[in-house]
Structure 1
Amino acid sequence: MRNYYLHTSNAQQALEAIKKGLPSVRLSTDLNLSEAEFALSDQQLVLDEDNCLSVAELKKIVKKTQRIYRCCDGDMTPLEDRSAGYYKLVPTAGAPLLEISGVKMHISKGTDPFVSASEMAQQAVRPGDKVLDCCSGLGYAAISAHRIGASEVLTIELSPEVMGLRAQNPWSQDLGKEGIVQRQGSSFELIGSMPSISFDAVIHDPPRFSLAGELYSEAFYREIYRVLRGGGRLFHYTGNPHIVNKGSSFVDGVIRRLKAAGFKRVVKVEHLMGVSAQK
């Protein structure tokens, strides 16, 4: 049972080819990972014998510019979850990004979500490292850490809705590779049960402060410090710096708390909207 992923861009390609009377069209139906040739017959895009999309269905996809549809076993369903809030995958020119209740959870402007997550991993991870990935989302940073050569990556994600979407995302499939361990739960709670000095690198990509303030606390930073080995590295995504009371920068507050927790060499990494630090 194969999955095909359609969105505004590739549906429009199919419509234009049908309009020109072409016998086939070359498309990516795995969200820009690869391309293949698909037949056009009787004003339909033929993905396989069980999945054929009419002009009307393709036009429906084209209209929904911020949505991805999964075609499988004759059904066409959006990659979204409305059970608790509104979670969805949004198409880009590269890897899809995660959006929660209208808030994009990746750096995507001028880059690709997978590329920016890879750059975050490169800030902290070295070949052979044992890595903790807190608040992993679609798992792009964890996959990047594994590709860098990490010996083991422990990845934690709180939201079952996010884990459900990433299970359907072609770009997240490498999370199933040997050397990557996925856990569902609270990073704030789970880190307390982890042995001291057990990781070489930590990637911390929490939701915004208003949703998970405890993940920006000195108490949590002290736990990260505790589980890191001497010389271990942290990259902490903070998001767009914004002004809080007394005119002090939110990121400056993060830096102060990291230093209070014991970290040194705490440096803003502006193009990645985060902070790097070392134990």
Structure 2
Amino acid sequence: MPNYYLHTTNAKQALEAIAKGQSCVRISVDLNISEQDFSLSDQSLVLDEDNRLSIDELKKIVKKTQRIYLCSDGDMVPLEDRSRGYYKLAPTAGSPLLEISGVKMHISKGTDPFVSASEMAKQAVRKGDKVLDCCSGLGYAAIAAHRLGASEVLTIELSPEVMGLRAQNPWSNDLGKEGIVQRQGSSYELIRTMDAASFDSVIHDPPRFSLAGELYSEEFYRQIFRVLRRDGRLFHYTGNPHVIKKGSSFVDGVIRRLKAAGFKNIVKVEHLMGVSAQKK
């Protein structure tokens, strides 16, 4: 059954085309991966035989500017999960971003969530690497690592709600490719079960400190150090560009704990709101 993703931008395009009396409209229904033509008939956007959106339905989508609707099998539902907290995918000009209880989980200002995650992967990953991706979210960094030529990527996500949303996100489809292993669970706990010196690079993109302080602890950094091979590389997202620039006590604390765990060559990467480090 085909899935169609509608949000403010493409719903507006359809409404404008209907208002002009056009017989078809060219829009993206896979969240900006591609575009195709759809017919306009009886004042409706016709996606296929089972999925037609009236002017009223399109106007409803336009009003909800930070929401993505999944149209499939004659239904139209927002891409969100309210079972524990409020998890949703929000539209951008490129790939969608993950929002949890109103907090954006990606760098999106002036860039695209997939692009910024790819830049994070480039800080650590080299061709042929075996990669550990902690706190993977929608899996963008894991996919980027795979595209950079990683031999294997182990990607860990704690939240079943996030894993459910990413299963519906077309930008996350490549997580199903050979060479990427997805695990659901706590990075803090699972890393202890991993062999020493088993990864060439680690991407660590945890939730903010107030939500997961243990993932910023010296104890966890020691575990990352343990599972990295010699000359292994880490990129650690820490958040807030102003904090990084000023060298706040928080980022300084992260750097101190990384040093205490054994890391060398620790460098602030301001545009990605994080730090890179190496196991010598």
Taking structure 1 as the reference length, what is the TM-score of the superposition? 0.98
Change over 3 Å in CA distance of 1:61–1:41 after alignment to 2: same
Aligned: 1:124 with 2:141: no
**Shift of residue 248, structure 1, vs aligned partner:** 4.9
Give, in whole Å, the separation in 1 of the partners of 2:204 and 2:172.
18
Q: Give runs of aligned pairs for residues 87-98 of structure 1, distance below 5 A.
A: 87-98=87-98
Other structure's SS at 1:108 match: coil
Find the counterpart in structure 1 of residue 176 from structure 2. 176
Corresponding position: 1:109 with 2:138:
no
Equivalent in the alignment of 2:233: 233
Which residue of structure 2 lines up, in the alignment, with residue 25 of structure 1?
25
2:187 maps to: 187
Q: 2:170, 2:29 → 1: CA distance?
A: 10
Measure, in 2, the Cα distance between the counterparts of 1:74 and 1:21: 24
The letter for the 2-side match of 1:47 is: L
Match of 1:49 in 2: 49
Report the counterpart of residue 151 of structure 1 in structure 2: 151
Q: Is the 8 A contact 1:242 1:250 kept in 2?
A: no
For 1:124, the aligned partner's letter is A
Name the SS for the 1:131 alignment partner.
strand
- The residue that corresponds to 1:160 in the other structure is 160
Question: Given the alignment of the two structures, is residue 6 of structure 1 paired with residue 6 of structure 2, yes or no?
Answer: yes
Q: Is the 8 A contact 2:117 2:140 kept in 1?
A: yes
1:140 to 2:140 alignment: yes
Contact 2:241 2:270 in 1 (8 A): no
- The separation in 2 between residues aligned to 1:252 and 1:260, in whole angstroms, is 12
Counterparts in 2 of 1:24 and 1:192: CA distance versus 1, 3 Å: same
- 2:40 corresponds in structure 1 to 40
How many angstroms apart in 1 are the aligned matches of 2:241 and 2:213? 15
Percent identity for Structure 1 against Structure 2: 84
| SS in structure 1 at match of 2:202 | strand
Which 5+ residue runs of structure 2 have no aligned equivalent?
none
C-alpha displacement of 1:88: 0.2
Deviation at residue 12 of structure 1 after TM alignment: 0.1
**Is the 1:97–1:113 contact (alpha carbons within 8 Å) kept by the matching residues of 2?**
yes
Q: Distance in 1 between matches of 2:163 and 2:24?
A: 35
In the TM superposition, what whole-angstrom CA distance separates every residue of 1:127-162 from its partner, at most 9, and x where no partner exists?
Answer: 000000000000000000000000000000000000
Q: Deviations over 1:156-201 (max 9, x none)?
A: 0000000000000000000000000000000000000000000000
Q: Is the CA contact (8 Å cut-off) linking 2:200 and 2:229 kept in structure 1? A: yes
The unaligned stretches of length 5 or more in structure 1 are none
TM-score under structure 2 normalisation?
0.97
1:2 partner letter:
P
Establish whether residue 265 from structure 1 lines up as the match of residue 265 from structure 2. yes
